[in-house]
């Protein structure tokens, strides 16, 4: 089988099940691809090649197990997810030497499904960034153009999937950190409903916003991975016991888009949207109409407040979550200290990067006495209004569509001096996290000027990932999947 690494997860899982490919062959193909492409894209922070090959050999010797849907399939995971015996740094120097003694729930589920984990993906430090330039170790580069960013904070995961280093990766999405890099790198990125996937073993950024989801090369691949990681986990108090749908059956049940109502928010299709992004997204909507969908104009009036609300809520929660990394209980401990106060100050000064410090300070400020009511409480109230906007919109439509990002991937360093400008580019993704709803980024073409991938974002009702996946699957079948970038 030529170019094993270039196949989709579904294709590889199928030929493995048919006995035409071994787990070791699939694993070696991805490892060789990773070794050849990693100097250019730098998507990884840790690898476990020897262990992965040993696991693949043991699986081949034991024989194929049909009860494991990802048997023998090599994958990667974002370095914010705990992995037993493998460093979990969150892209930060403060956790440089942290090696967990347990697996995150989703990592455990991947292993139980038979997948082989090749390593940990690079990321913006503590998931705070939109370009994977904020990693404490090195930036990651976009496989389509290594002069450009892959998006973030799950940029390492998106780049790894797009480059053929693995067949799927797990990322995390706090304000668009799965969907935006998926859009920039031309792959499928799914952010499930809040509570659909357990966050046990994930190092938290914004606890009421974070959600784990897959990045893959096809919608069917995303459905397969979600089927493995979704479900109730009693160790996560925010994890829902809502029944898990049969996502693959949902894909098979829809042949076209007849009867589907697609809402187009006026706020997502106006000022600030680049023409090279709007054009392929409009073409995808036109194709959806040809396939039987009905287009409905809707409004999400409070989305204009989403950026302000998100950065108040997220930074406040980050300030609280990252307080544990103090050089005493956990994390890097400075050697340049004489007093207890010095220990705290120096350890956090040395361990945290500039962006993390900025967000901790802003979060502490909005939670401080005298400012809590003016900022955090008000943000929580507007957050509820944003969710109500979605509830009203979904009375008129089944899914909502808009661009995943107002622009395509920018060049490395182009926005590093203006963090506020980068914050504002999350305008189309952030509202979904505030409302706790599911969203999917589907590659629909490339920009006419940049030649970079463009993603259409599909937003759905709570726990209705089936409609999102089945609709995206139909569109994908008619639009086609992007070719693998030349590296």
pLDDT recorded at residue 404: 98
SS3 262: strand
pLDDT recorded at residue 265: 97
Per the residue annotation, which of 131, 153, 450, 470 is the catalytic one? Answer: 153
Enumerate residue ranges in the chain where pLDDT < 70: 1-2
Other CB atoms within 10 Å distance of the CB of residue 50: 9
pLDDT recorded at residue 487: 87
pTM attached to this predicted model: 0.96
Per the residue annotation, which of 78, 134, 191, 461 is the catalytic one? Answer: 78
Contact 434, 174 (CB under 8 A): no
pLDDT in tens, 28-47: 999 999 999 999 999 999 99
**Catalytic residue flag (residue 177):** yes
Query: First and final CA of the chain: distance in angstroms?
Result: 20
Mind listing the domains of the chain with CATH numbers?
Answer: 4-263+402-479 (3.90.1300.10), 304-381 (no CATH)
pLDDT recorded at residue 278: 97
pLDDT recorded at residue 2: 56
**Catalytic residue flag (residue 183):** no
Per the residue annotation, which of 177, 198, 303, 319 is the catalytic one? Answer: 177
Distance CA 33, CA 407 (A): 29
pLDDT recorded at residue 1: 47
Q: What is the sign, positive or negative, of the torsion defined by CA atoms of 465, 469, 475, 481?
A: positive
């Amino acid at each position: 089988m030529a170019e094993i690494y270039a196949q989709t997860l579904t294709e590889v899982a199928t030929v493995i099940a048919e006995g035409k490919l071994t787990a070791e062959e699939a694993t070696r193909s991805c490892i060789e691809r990773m070794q050849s492409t990693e100097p250019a894209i730098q998507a990884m922070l840790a690898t476990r090649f020897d262990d992965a090959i040993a696991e693949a050999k043991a699986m081949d010797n034991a024989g194929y197990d049909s009860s494991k849907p990802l048997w023998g399939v090599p994958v990667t995971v974002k370095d914010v997810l705990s992995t037993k015996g493998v460093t979990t740094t969150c892209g930060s120097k403060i956790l440089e030497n942290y090696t967990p003694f347990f697996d995150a729930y989703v990592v455990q589920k991947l292993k139980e499904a038979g997948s082989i984990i090749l390593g940990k993906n690079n990321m913006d430090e503590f998931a705070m960034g939109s370009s994977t330039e904020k990693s404490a170790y090195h930036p990651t580069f976009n496989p389509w153009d290594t002069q450009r960013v892959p998006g973030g904070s799950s940029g390492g995961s998106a780049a790894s999937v797009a480059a053929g280093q693995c067949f799927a990766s797990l990322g995390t999405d706090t304000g668009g950190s799965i969907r935006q890099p998926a859009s920039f790198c031309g792959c499928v990125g799914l952010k499930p409903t809040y509570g659909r996937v357990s966050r046990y073993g994930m190092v938290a950024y914004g606890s009421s916003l974070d959600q784990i989801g897959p990045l893959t090369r096809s919608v069917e691949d995303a459905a397969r991975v979600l089927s493995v990681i979704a479900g109730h986990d009693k160790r996560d108090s925010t994890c829902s016991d809502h029944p898990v749908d049969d996502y693959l059956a949902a894909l098979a049940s829809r042949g076209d888009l007849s009867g589907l109502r697609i809402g187009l928010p006026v706020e997502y299709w106006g000022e600030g949207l680049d023409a090279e992004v709007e054009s392929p997204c409009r073409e995808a909507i036109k194709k959806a109409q040809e396939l039987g969908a009905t287009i409905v104009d809707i409004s999400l009036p409070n989305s204009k407040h989403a950026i302000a609300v998100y950065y108040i809520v997220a930074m406040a929660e980050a300030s609280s979550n990252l307080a544990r990394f103090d050089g005493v209980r956990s994390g890097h401990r400075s050697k340049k200290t004489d007093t207890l106060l010095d220990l705290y100050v120096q350890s956090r000064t040395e361990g945290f990067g500039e962006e993390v410090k900025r967000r901790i300070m802003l979060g502490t400020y909005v939670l401080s006495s005298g400012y809590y009511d003016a900022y955090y409480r008000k943000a929580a109230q507007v957050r509820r209004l944003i969710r109500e906007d979605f509830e009203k919109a979904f009375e008129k439509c089944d899914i909502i569509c808009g661009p995943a990002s107002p622009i395509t991937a920018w060049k490395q360093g182009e926005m590093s001096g203006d963090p506020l400008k980068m914050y504002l580019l999350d305008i189309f993704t952030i509202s979904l996290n505030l409302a706790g709803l599911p969203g999917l980024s589907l590659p629909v073409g490339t920009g006419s000027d940049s030649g970079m991938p463009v993603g259409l974002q599909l937003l759905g009702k709570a726990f209705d990932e089936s409609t999102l996946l089945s609709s995206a699957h139909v569109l994908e079948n008619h639009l086609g999947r992007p070719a693998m970038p030349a590296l």
